[in-house]
Protein backbone atom coordinates (compact mmCIF):
# COMPACT_ATOMS: atom_id res chain seq x y z
CA UNK A 1 0.00 0.00 0.00
CA UNK A 2 1.37 3.41 -0.93
CA UNK A 3 0.57 6.98 0.07
CA UNK A 4 -1.09 9.50 -2.23
CA UNK A 5 2.16 10.81 -3.67
CA UNK A 6 3.57 7.31 -4.33
CA UNK A 7 5.88 7.20 -1.29
CA UNK A 8 6.40 3.67 0.05
CA UNK A 9 5.04 3.09 3.55
CA UNK A 10 7.90 0.80 4.46
CA UNK A 11 10.57 2.20 6.76
CA UNK A 12 13.94 3.37 5.51
CA UNK A 13 15.66 0.27 6.90
CA UNK A 14 13.34 -2.25 5.26
CA UNK A 15 14.86 -4.23 2.37
CA UNK A 16 13.37 -3.89 -1.09
CA UNK A 17 11.24 -6.64 -2.59
CA UNK A 18 13.31 -9.70 -3.44
CA UNK A 19 16.38 -8.22 -1.75
CA UNK A 20 18.30 -10.15 0.84
CA UNK A 21 20.01 -8.87 3.94
CA UNK A 22 23.17 -10.65 2.71
CA UNK A 23 25.47 -8.95 0.16
CA UNK A 24 25.07 -10.30 -3.35
CA UNK A 25 28.79 -10.87 -3.89
CA UNK A 26 30.71 -10.22 -0.73
CA UNK A 27 33.61 -12.49 -1.63
CA UNK A 28 33.41 -14.23 1.75
CA UNK A 29 33.38 -18.06 1.87
CA UNK A 30 29.90 -19.51 1.92
CA UNK A 31 29.11 -21.14 5.26
CA UNK A 32 27.68 -24.26 3.61
CA UNK A 33 30.87 -24.69 1.59
CA UNK A 34 33.10 -25.12 4.66
CA UNK A 35 32.24 -28.80 5.32
CA UNK A 36 32.94 -29.65 1.66
CA UNK A 37 36.27 -27.84 1.80
CA UNK A 38 37.18 -29.64 5.01
CA UNK A 39 36.41 -32.98 3.36
CA UNK A 40 38.72 -32.16 0.45
CA UNK A 41 41.49 -31.18 2.84
CA UNK A 42 40.86 -34.41 4.74
CA UNK A 43 41.31 -36.39 1.53
CA UNK A 44 44.57 -34.56 0.83
CA UNK A 45 45.94 -35.19 4.33
CA UNK A 46 44.80 -38.83 4.34
CA UNK A 47 46.47 -39.47 0.98
CA UNK A 48 49.70 -37.87 2.19
CA UNK A 49 49.67 -39.87 5.43
CA UNK A 50 49.11 -43.17 3.57
CA UNK A 51 51.93 -42.44 1.12
CA UNK A 52 54.25 -41.38 3.94
CA UNK A 53 53.40 -44.41 6.05
CA UNK A 54 54.00 -46.85 3.20
CA UNK A 55 57.27 -45.15 2.27
CA UNK A 56 58.66 -45.16 5.82
CA UNK A 57 57.60 -48.75 6.47
CA UNK A 58 59.03 -50.06 3.21
CA UNK A 59 62.38 -48.32 3.79
CA UNK A 60 62.67 -49.70 7.32
CA UNK A 61 61.93 -53.24 6.11
CA UNK A 62 64.32 -52.98 3.17
CA UNK A 63 67.19 -51.62 5.29
CA UNK A 64 66.60 -54.27 7.95
CA UNK A 65 66.34 -57.26 5.59
CA UNK A 66 68.27 -56.44 2.41
CA UNK A 67 71.38 -54.65 3.67
CA UNK A 68 74.60 -56.47 2.75
CA UNK A 69 72.67 -58.93 0.62
CA UNK A 70 72.51 -59.63 -3.07
CA UNK A 71 69.53 -58.07 -4.88
CA UNK A 72 66.32 -60.09 -4.75
CA UNK A 73 65.10 -61.04 -8.23
CA UNK A 74 61.34 -61.11 -8.83
CA UNK A 75 59.12 -61.68 -11.88
CA UNK A 76 61.82 -63.57 -13.73
CA UNK A 77 64.42 -60.86 -13.18
CA UNK A 78 62.17 -58.02 -14.33
CA UNK A 79 62.06 -56.52 -10.80
CA UNK A 80 64.98 -56.30 -8.40
CA UNK A 81 64.83 -55.34 -4.72
CA UNK A 82 68.01 -53.90 -3.22
CA UNK A 83 69.28 -51.18 -0.91
CA UNK A 84 70.68 -48.08 -2.64
CA UNK A 85 71.70 -44.82 -0.95
CA UNK A 86 70.84 -41.78 -3.08
CA UNK A 87 72.14 -38.28 -2.19
CA UNK A 88 70.26 -36.71 -5.10
CA UNK A 89 66.64 -36.21 -6.12
CA UNK A 90 64.12 -38.69 -7.44
CA UNK A 91 65.59 -41.42 -9.64
CA UNK A 92 69.14 -40.48 -8.52
CA UNK A 93 69.08 -37.09 -10.25
CA UNK A 94 71.54 -34.40 -9.06
CA UNK A 95 73.58 -36.47 -6.61
CA UNK A 96 75.79 -33.48 -5.71
CA UNK A 97 72.92 -31.12 -4.78
CA UNK A 98 71.54 -32.76 -1.64
CA UNK A 99 71.10 -29.54 0.36
CA UNK A 100 69.46 -27.76 -2.56
CA UNK A 101 66.91 -30.53 -3.01
CA UNK A 102 66.22 -30.49 0.73
CA UNK A 103 65.39 -26.77 0.59
CA UNK A 104 63.22 -27.31 -2.50
CA UNK A 105 61.34 -30.11 -0.72
CA UNK A 106 60.60 -27.81 2.23
CA UNK A 107 59.30 -25.13 -0.15
CA UNK A 108 57.06 -27.62 -1.97
CA UNK A 109 55.56 -28.81 1.30
CA UNK A 110 54.83 -25.24 2.43
CA UNK A 111 53.21 -24.34 -0.90
CA UNK A 112 50.99 -27.45 -0.85
CA UNK A 113 49.84 -26.76 2.71
CA UNK A 114 48.99 -23.14 1.85
CA UNK A 115 47.18 -24.19 -1.33
CA UNK A 116 45.10 -26.76 0.55
CA UNK A 117 43.00 -23.93 2.06
CA UNK A 118 41.52 -23.16 -1.37
CA UNK A 119 41.00 -26.68 -2.67
CA UNK A 120 37.48 -27.81 -3.67
CA UNK A 121 38.32 -30.65 -6.07
CA UNK A 122 38.73 -34.32 -5.10
CA UNK A 123 41.17 -35.06 -7.99
CA UNK A 124 43.30 -32.12 -6.94
CA UNK A 125 43.14 -33.26 -3.32
CA UNK A 126 44.50 -36.67 -4.35
CA UNK A 127 47.14 -35.05 -6.55
CA UNK A 128 48.44 -32.72 -3.86
CA UNK A 129 48.25 -35.54 -1.31
CA UNK A 130 50.54 -37.70 -3.46
CA UNK A 131 53.00 -34.83 -3.90
CA UNK A 132 52.92 -33.94 -0.21
CA UNK A 133 53.43 -37.53 0.98
CA UNK A 134 56.25 -38.20 -1.48
CA UNK A 135 58.09 -34.95 -0.77
CA UNK A 136 57.80 -35.48 2.99
CA UNK A 137 59.01 -39.09 2.80
CA UNK A 138 62.23 -38.20 1.00
CA UNK A 139 62.74 -35.08 3.14
CA UNK A 140 62.69 -37.18 6.32
CA UNK A 141 65.52 -39.29 4.90
CA UNK A 142 67.56 -36.15 4.20
CA UNK A 143 66.98 -34.89 7.74
CA UNK A 144 67.51 -38.04 9.83
CA UNK A 145 69.81 -40.32 7.82
CA UNK A 146 73.57 -40.07 7.50
CA UNK A 147 75.77 -38.25 6.79
CA UNK A 148 73.97 -35.26 8.38
CA UNK A 149 71.11 -32.80 8.62
CA UNK A 150 69.66 -31.95 5.18
CA UNK A 151 72.49 -33.99 3.65
CA UNK A 152 71.16 -37.46 4.40
CA UNK A 153 70.99 -40.10 1.69
CA UNK A 154 67.56 -41.24 0.54
CA UNK A 155 66.94 -45.00 0.59
CA UNK A 156 65.95 -46.35 -2.83
CA UNK A 157 65.10 -50.02 -3.26
CA UNK A 158 63.07 -50.70 -6.45
CA UNK A 159 64.94 -51.40 -9.68
CA UNK A 160 63.47 -52.00 -13.13
CA UNK A 161 65.37 -52.76 -16.35
CA UNK A 162 66.88 -49.62 -17.91
CA UNK A 163 65.43 -47.45 -15.15
CA UNK A 164 67.06 -45.73 -12.13
CA UNK A 165 66.50 -47.19 -8.67
CA UNK A 166 63.58 -45.50 -6.88
CA UNK A 167 61.26 -45.83 -3.89
CA UNK A 168 57.56 -45.39 -3.12
CA UNK A 169 57.96 -41.67 -2.40
CA UNK A 170 59.45 -41.16 -5.87
CA UNK A 171 56.53 -43.08 -7.40
CA UNK A 172 54.02 -40.90 -5.54
CA UNK A 173 55.74 -37.70 -6.73
CA UNK A 174 55.72 -38.87 -10.36
CA UNK A 175 52.06 -39.97 -10.21
CA UNK A 176 51.07 -36.67 -8.59
CA UNK A 177 52.94 -34.72 -11.25
CA UNK A 178 51.21 -36.64 -14.06
CA UNK A 179 47.78 -36.05 -12.49
CA UNK A 180 48.54 -32.32 -12.11
CA UNK A 181 49.44 -32.05 -15.79
CA UNK A 182 46.28 -33.92 -16.84
CA UNK A 183 44.00 -31.79 -14.65
CA UNK A 184 45.60 -28.57 -15.88
CA UNK A 185 45.33 -29.71 -19.51
CA UNK A 186 41.61 -30.34 -19.03
CA UNK A 187 41.15 -26.89 -17.49
CA UNK A 188 40.08 -28.16 -14.07
CA UNK A 189 41.01 -25.70 -11.33
CA UNK A 190 41.46 -26.21 -7.61
CA UNK A 191 37.76 -25.36 -7.17
CA UNK A 192 36.77 -28.27 -9.44
CA UNK A 193 35.38 -26.00 -12.18
CA UNK A 194 36.43 -26.01 -15.81
CA UNK A 195 37.86 -22.71 -16.96
CA UNK A 196 36.95 -19.40 -15.34
CA UNK A 197 33.53 -18.48 -14.06
CA UNK A 198 31.41 -15.78 -15.75
CA UNK A 199 32.38 -12.32 -14.46
CA UNK A 200 29.93 -10.95 -11.94
CA UNK A 201 29.54 -7.70 -13.91
CA UNK A 202 28.12 -9.28 -17.07
CA UNK A 203 24.49 -8.55 -17.83
CA UNK A 204 22.09 -11.35 -17.12
CA UNK A 205 19.39 -12.47 -19.46
CA UNK A 206 15.97 -10.96 -18.81
CA UNK A 207 13.69 -13.46 -17.14
CA UNK A 208 10.01 -13.73 -18.10
CA UNK A 209 8.01 -11.21 -16.12
CA UNK A 210 10.95 -8.88 -15.44
CA UNK A 211 10.22 -5.21 -16.13
CA UNK A 212 12.69 -3.60 -18.53
CA UNK A 213 14.71 -0.83 -16.96
CA UNK A 214 14.85 2.68 -18.37
CA UNK A 215 18.24 3.84 -19.57
CA UNK A 216 19.51 7.35 -20.03
CA UNK A 217 19.80 8.20 -23.66
CA UNK A 218 17.41 5.59 -25.06
CA UNK A 219 15.39 2.49 -24.37
CA UNK A 220 11.89 1.98 -23.17
CA UNK A 221 10.40 1.14 -19.83
CA UNK A 222 8.71 2.79 -16.89
CA UNK A 223 10.08 6.12 -15.75
CA UNK A 224 10.67 6.59 -12.04
CA UNK A 225 8.46 9.14 -10.30
CA UNK A 226 10.03 12.52 -9.74
CA UNK A 227 12.57 12.23 -12.56
CA UNK A 228 12.61 13.83 -15.97
CA UNK A 229 12.08 11.38 -18.80
CA UNK A 230 15.07 10.82 -21.05
CA UNK A 231 14.72 10.93 -24.82
CA UNK A 232 13.12 7.72 -26.01
CA UNK A 233 11.58 6.82 -22.66
CA UNK A 234 7.95 5.73 -22.53
CA UNK A 235 6.18 8.79 -21.16
CA UNK A 236 2.59 7.60 -21.52
CA UNK A 237 0.41 8.75 -18.66
CA UNK A 238 -0.25 6.22 -15.90
CA UNK A 239 -3.83 4.99 -15.40
CA UNK A 240 -6.17 7.45 -13.71
CA UNK A 241 -6.26 7.00 -9.97
CA UNK A 242 -9.52 6.16 -8.33
CA UNK A 243 -10.61 8.96 -5.98
CA UNK A 244 -11.92 6.48 -3.43
CA UNK A 245 -8.60 4.67 -3.32
CA UNK A 246 -6.81 8.01 -2.91
CA UNK A 247 -9.08 8.92 -0.03
CA UNK A 248 -8.38 5.58 1.65
CA UNK A 249 -4.67 6.27 1.26
CA UNK A 250 -5.02 9.49 3.21
CA UNK A 251 -5.17 11.98 0.34
CA UNK A 252 -7.92 14.19 -0.94
CA UNK A 253 -9.81 13.47 -4.19
CA UNK A 254 -8.30 15.28 -7.15
CA UNK A 255 -10.46 18.16 -8.42
CA UNK A 256 -11.54 17.94 -12.04
CA UNK A 257 -9.16 19.58 -14.48
CA UNK A 258 -10.05 21.26 -17.72
CA UNK A 259 -10.02 18.73 -20.53
CA UNK A 260 -10.75 15.66 -18.39
CA UNK A 261 -13.24 13.33 -19.98
CA UNK A 262 -15.51 11.28 -17.75
CA UNK A 263 -16.38 7.69 -18.59
CA UNK A 264 -19.63 8.68 -20.44
CA UNK A 265 -17.68 10.99 -22.81
CA UNK A 266 -19.40 14.26 -21.71
CA UNK A 267 -17.25 17.31 -20.89
CA UNK A 268 -16.37 17.58 -17.20
CA UNK A 269 -17.89 20.29 -15.06
CA UNK A 270 -15.73 23.34 -14.82
CA UNK A 271 -14.83 23.43 -18.48
CA UNK A 272 -14.95 26.94 -19.92
CA UNK A 273 -18.07 27.76 -21.79
Which residues does the annotation mark as catalytic?
A: 156, 170
**Which burial class, exposed, middle or buried, applies to 82 when counting CB atoms under 10 A from its CB (0-12, 13-18, 19+)?**
middle
Contact 99, 151 (CB under 8 A): yes
The stretches of 1-97 forming alpha helices (DSSP H) are 34-66
SS3 40: helix
What value, to the nearest 5°, has the Cα angle with vertex 51 and ends 127 and 96? 90
Query: How far is the C-alpha of 184 from the C-alpha of 190, rounded, in Å?
Result: 10
Query: How far is the C-alpha of 189 from the C-alpha of 216, rounded, in Å?
Result: 40
Q: What share of the chain is helix, strand, coil (3-state, %, to 5)?
A: 40, 10, 50
Contact 72, 53 (CB under 8 A): no
SS3 133: helix
Amino acid sequence: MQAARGTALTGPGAPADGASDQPADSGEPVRGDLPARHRRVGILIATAVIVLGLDITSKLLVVANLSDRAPVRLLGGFLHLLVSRNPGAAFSIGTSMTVVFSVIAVGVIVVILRTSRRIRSVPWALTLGLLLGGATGNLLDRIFRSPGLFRGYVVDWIELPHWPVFNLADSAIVCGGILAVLLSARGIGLDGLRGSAEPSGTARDTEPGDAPLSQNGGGTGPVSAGTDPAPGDDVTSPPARDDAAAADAGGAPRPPVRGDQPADGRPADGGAG
